[in-house]
Structure 1
Amino acid sequence: MTLPSKLPRPAFRWKLGAAETKFENPWMRVESIPAVDPSGQDTHYGVVRFKNLAVGVVPYADGYIWLVGQSRVTFEAYSWEIPAGGGALDEDPSHAAHRELKEETGFTAGRLEKILTMELSNSITNERCVVYLATDLTAGESETESSEDISLLKISLDDAIAAVDAGEIRQSISVAAILKLARLRAEGQLT
């Protein structure tokens, strides 16, 4: 099935009142919004509004990518992911991608190409993400933050795809980026 290049966009049917902030910190704000849903029912809708743009970057060379592993408090578990972080909403996302790549892996990229734009959980958050492919890599020292317990793993793209399929890589940005790379390779756009 081939999807059209422009999908239809029916009208937004919710009626929203003034949002009330319930919690706020430097990274996000949680709001309660009085609303009328599309069926005409009164309700309150909760939204998490992020103050930064999420930025992911996949370091790639010769059929291999690098993942970063770190402890994630939300799931009380260790997670293998592509390097990622946040950038100010008014910052060029490619600058944030270069910064996160250097901080988490030590690499600098000679070439950075945007490969994906996504909304991470648009039913409850407004968080958006841009993902870049980093190539022409130069190794260096990482500059991790004190809260990060990062490990670095070089893995073949095939093994990363298998890890996604097996549920070993579950973080949404990483899953989407790895599957995008698989598609780019299948189309001959990635060597």
Structure 2
Amino acid sequence: MSVWKNLGEHEVYSNPWLRINLADVELPDGRHLDHYLMRLRPVALATVVNERDEVLLLWRHRFITDTWGWELAAGVVEAGESLEAAAAREMLEETGWRPGPLQHLLTVEPSNGLTDALHHVYWSTSAEYVGHPEDDFESERREWVSLARVLELVAKGEVRSANAVAALLLLHHMRLG
């Protein structure tokens, strides 16, 4: 079994959002290499699929990649907050919809060769519109999008984030087969 071993790491930089560490890694053949990695807080995401098989999405711009795409409401889990509570909070803040009972859909590692980030995706079959989103600056618009369009949107590159692609493809499969 070929296993890379982390023999230890030290912090190079940190802030409230992330830590950048340098690890001493032993390769299976005994060689060593320095490997930079990011340690990140967990992220929770949430969406709703309604009775018409429409999913609640956000259309937003990401300045880092200068791209637009459909995403799920998402954010960092605060200290002492459960994953499910964080997912519900983010959905309400970013969409104005309070989800009904949430179910865990999946957990993904979007870039496990560089970070230890875990993205925990939740979904519900009901939601209550509470009002205009508190964090409306996070997206240009929020829309109910037909799950039947998911494959087309992913293929066209309109869903760009790995967590949203994985979640939407799984929801499409679960609801539409």
Residue 182 (structure 1) shift: 1.5
Q: Distance in 1 between matches of 2:37 and 2:106?
A: 24
1:53 and 1:89 in contact (8 A); partners too: no
Residue 89 (structure 1) shift: 6.0
5+ residue gaps, structure 2, are: none
Alignment partner, residue 135 of structure 2? 144
Q: Distance in 1 between matches of 2:12 and 2:119?
A: 24
1:104 and 1:150 in contact (8 A); partners too: no
TM-score, normalised to structure 1, is 0.84
Q: Distance in 2 between matches of 1:100 and 1:179?
A: 21
Residue 88 (structure 1) shift: 3.1
> Equivalent pairs: percent with the same residue?
28
Alignment partner, residue 150 of structure 2? 160
Alignment partner, residue 18 of structure 2? 28
Q: How many residue pairs align between the two structures? A: 175
Residue 79 (structure 1) shift: 2.4
Is 2:168 the partner of 1:178? yes
Alignment partner, residue 56 of structure 1? 45
1:36 and 1:42 in contact (8 A); partners too: yes
Equivalences for residues 14-163 of structure 1 within 5 A: 14-50=4-40, 52-61=41-50, 62-88=52-78, 90-141=80-131, 142-144=133-135, 148-163=138-153
TM-score, normalised to structure 2, is 0.90
RMSD: 1.9
Q: Would you identify which runs of 4 or more consecutive aligned residues in structure 1 move more than 2 Å?
A: 12-18, 88-91
5+ residue gaps, structure 1, are: 1-9
Q: Distance in 1 between matches of 2:92 and 2:31?
A: 49
